[in-house]
Structure 1
Amino acid sequence: MMADWDAIILGAGAAGMMCAAVAGQRGRRVLLVDHADQPGKKILISGGGRCNFTNIDTAADRYLSANPHFAKSALGRYGAQDFIALVDSYGIAWHEKTLGQLFCDGSAKQIVAMLEEECAKGGVTMALGQPIADVAHGDGLYRVTVGGVEHRAPALVLATGGPSIPKMGATGFAYDVARQFGLSIIQPRPALVPFTLGADEALFQALSGVSADVIVRWNKVRFREAALFTHRGLSGPAMLQISSYWQHRTPIHVDFLPDHDADWLIEAKRERPRASLRKVVAQALTERLADALLERAGVQGEMGNLSDKALRQLGARLHDWSFAPTGTEGYAKAEVTVGGIATAGLSSRTMEASKVPGLYAIGEAVDVTGWLGGYNFQWAWASGWAAAQAV
């Protein structure tokens, strides 16, 4: 059995469905293949089931890549407003949460249904729930064997994502196919992922469930968002953001009091000399967090009995508290993958491999990783749209 197409797209996630829909509506005969039995599985669990589908502040400097300029072309030609217009055309209600993040009022299912409808408008054929047995190339055609049928097309699009969230069926399949055709891979690692802390910081496990508004810093990168203590370490948006940049065996620095100036404890001592240090710090931080930090810092007592020097040192430490993560919770808890198919071998305009005509890579499979907050979806839409113009 054989079947011929204009393009075969591997992976029916955000990027693959977008690419298939747009290419199909351009008159291309498209086959969309996925080993999962339904499309858009990662979309359905995103944003707590409400799908943070884009970010209105999208810009190339919000992405990590070996080539920081690579994302500019696609993002510039298909921006957040373009996807919002598509969502609006389906009457899907949405709201802005914080920091430019847009979510469905209802359910992520609406975004998947919209993409399915867009694929249907383009006459896209889906082959779901069957593993890809073989991918080969010869005589200018890519051959993909699915369920005993060999499909052929002059264009093959890799859109199977990265290895994050393996319980959803995610694998490094795209990397294997890319390597098969001689493309290089930037070493992948988990990103947007919680940190683990070691036994020497076990004190903080007692804070599981406590969150605080912080500035977290690693080298010159900083984010101000909520941090959350867990029974294994540190999570919350601030920690997920910095995890994408963090390198093993390096510390991260947390400012627990971003709205207080350096000498606030000395001023508090002048105003309330009889108050306990614990009470003053707890009013700024919550009792459980104050207790843990003061215990670790080894400072206690009435404000009036503490020297200005001791208070100044404590204030500095609360503004620049160092944690040494032992690692992260890995791909199981990572929202995305940093690294992937090297951009050096791809056209930033079409996503086509420069040395392998007809082979394209889009979405998370590529070495372009966005910040938390809808940026990775916007890259999926933009890179999928760009490839769809070319296949």
Structure 2
Amino acid sequence: MTATHDAIVLGAGAAGLMCAGAAGQRGRRILLVDHNPAPGAKILISGGGRCNFTNIGTAPDRFVSANPHFARSALGRYTPADFLALVEAHGIAWHEKTLGQLFCDGSARQIVAMLIAECDRGGVEQALGVPVSAVDQADGLFRVTLGSRVVTAPRLVVATGGPSIPKLGATSFAYDLARRFGLKIVEPRPALVPLTLGAEEALFRTLSGVATEVVASAGAGRFREAALFTHRGLSGPAILQVSSYWRHGDSVALNLLPDQQGGWLRAAKREQPRATLRRALGRQLPDRLAEALADRIAITTELANTPDRALESAERLLSAWTVTPTGTEGFAKAEVTVGGVSTADLDQRTLEAKRVPGLHVIGEAVDVTGWLGGYNFQWAWASGVAAGQAL
């Protein structure tokens, strides 16, 4: 059997486009395949349509993985500065927002157009809107069936992502294919996703629409950003961040007054003895939240008539208000997936399967998940280039 291509890349998302372009420009005959009729579906909706395409603070410790060191090689060899240089070479205007996040001034469509142009520059052949009906391997070649067409190559790249945002066509295809080739899967879970609360947390569920800056903690994750109370539970950047670390049954701690030091309520008692707890909280928190917290803590007397031990207890509650989510809003609302193809089965430099020569897995399909704020795109670009240079 003669190979029709040097490599077949399954998935025309961020990682797949990057990989195909990098390999094509090295003179490889690349076929880029996707069941969606157009490439870059997730890119187009990211960053409110402006694509938070990288983060200048990218570092391996800002990724969740069973092997926290795995991403170091690819991230070190293709940096945010490298991708930014590509963006600027294509004349795409950009700006930096908070916490090192870089966005297009215009539209995320510019990033997709750039990646397609890079693929065109490398002579990449595209087969879009075509589902894969079969994948097998024989005689050193991968054989992929696309409807009535069969294509073959000595190398196959799996860049089909995880199951987050199924309305964009996301599936567990990558995991199913990896299992067929004997690769282990770290349990996939929704990540960067709102958390749901039960009836016992009615205090917060009645505050739908209220937002405040907190320090949220769950597992090894600790983030200071905004939290948003919703009719179903908790959302906002701080909550999305800790959701990647949260496990079912775990609690989430919220420091609702992250700028306050211990003893602040006793100080308020000295300075404004006639004030109530509700009034003291109202100076620092949204009114509805201040009222709800004061009602729950149930200190109704003026501060002058409240024992110090009661004020200290209130401070402890407010600095570590603990809730136990009932779950998440699932893959439908998750921006990415935690877990995926085990890094133990992949070479960290080439993303090639150790026991299946020629098979590479990149991007979100791998058990590497970044923080909110452009990190996952940087992993897509870096892992795509790492595999593309190895094809």
Where on the TM-score scale, by shorter chain, does this alignment land: which range?
over 0.9
Residue aligning to 1:177: 177
Residue aligning to 1:82: 82
- 1:356 maps to a residue whose letter is V
For 1:315 and 1:186, how far apart are their aligned partners in 2? Answer: 40
Contact 2:219 2:245 in 1 (8 A): no
Where structure 2 has 5 or more consecutive residues not aligned to the other structure, the ranges are none
TM value normalised by structure 2: 0.98
For 1:184 and 1:264, how far apart are their aligned partners in 2? Answer: 51
For 1:164 and 1:301, how far apart are their aligned partners in 2? Answer: 49
Q: String of CA shifts for 1:331-350, please: whole Å, max 9, x gaps.
A: 01111111100111110000
Matched, 1:333 2:333: yes
Change (3 A) 1:28 1:66: same
- 2:300 maps to a residue whose letter is Q
Q: Which moved more, 1:301-310 or 1:240-249?
A: 301-310
SS at match of 1:145: strand
Contact 2:61 2:68 in 1 (8 A): yes
Q: How does 1:112-151 map to 2 (within 5 A)?
A: 112-151=112-151
Residue aligning to 2:225: 225
Matched, 1:189 2:189: yes
Residue aligning to 2:213: 213
Q: How does 1:336-347 map to 2 (within 5 A)?
A: 336-347=336-347
Contact 2:221 2:241 in 1 (8 A): no
- 2:256 maps to a residue whose letter is F
Deviation of 1:264 (Å): 0.8
For 1:63 and 1:317, how far apart are their aligned partners in 2? Answer: 30
Contact 1:75 1:379 in 2 (8 A): yes
Residue aligning to 1:47: 47
SS at match of 2:98: coil
Deviation of 1:159 (Å): 0.1
Q: String of CA shifts for 1:203-256, please: whole Å, max 9, x gaps.
A: 212211111111011244311111110100000110011010111111111101
Q: String of CA shifts for 1:280-318, please: whole Å, max 9, x gaps.
A: 111111110111112222222322221111111111111
For 1:162 and 1:296, how far apart are their aligned partners in 2? Answer: 41
Residue aligning to 2:38: 38
Percent identity over paired residues: 66
Contact 2:220 2:245 in 1 (8 A): no
Contact 1:10 1:159 in 2 (8 A): yes
Residue aligning to 1:375: 375
Residue aligning to 1:281: 281
Residue aligning to 1:24: 24
Deviation of 1:382 (Å): 0.3
For 2:189 and 2:291, how far apart are their aligned partners in 1? Answer: 35
SS at match of 1:390: coil
Contact 2:53 2:103 in 1 (8 A): yes
- 2:130 maps to a residue whose letter is Q
Where structure 1 has 5 or more consecutive residues not aligned to the other structure, the ranges are none
Residue aligning to 1:249: 249
For 1:199 and 1:179, how far apart are their aligned partners in 2? Answer: 39
- 1:365 maps to a residue whose letter is A
Contact 2:195 2:233 in 1 (8 A): yes
Residue aligning to 1:159: 159
Contact 2:24 2:119 in 1 (8 A): yes
Q: String of CA shifts for 1:24-72, please: whole Å, max 9, x gaps.
A: 0000010000000100000000111111100101111111111111101
- 1:226 maps to a residue whose letter is A
After the TM superposition, list the runs of 4 or more consecutive aligned residues in structure 1 that deviate by more than 6 angstroms: none
Deviation of 1:3 (Å): 7.2
Q: String of CA shifts for 1:158-182, please: whole Å, max 9, x gaps.
A: 0000000011110000011111111
RMSD: 1.0
Q: String of CA shifts for 1:332-375, please: whole Å, max 9, x gaps.
A: 11111111001111100001111101100000000111111100
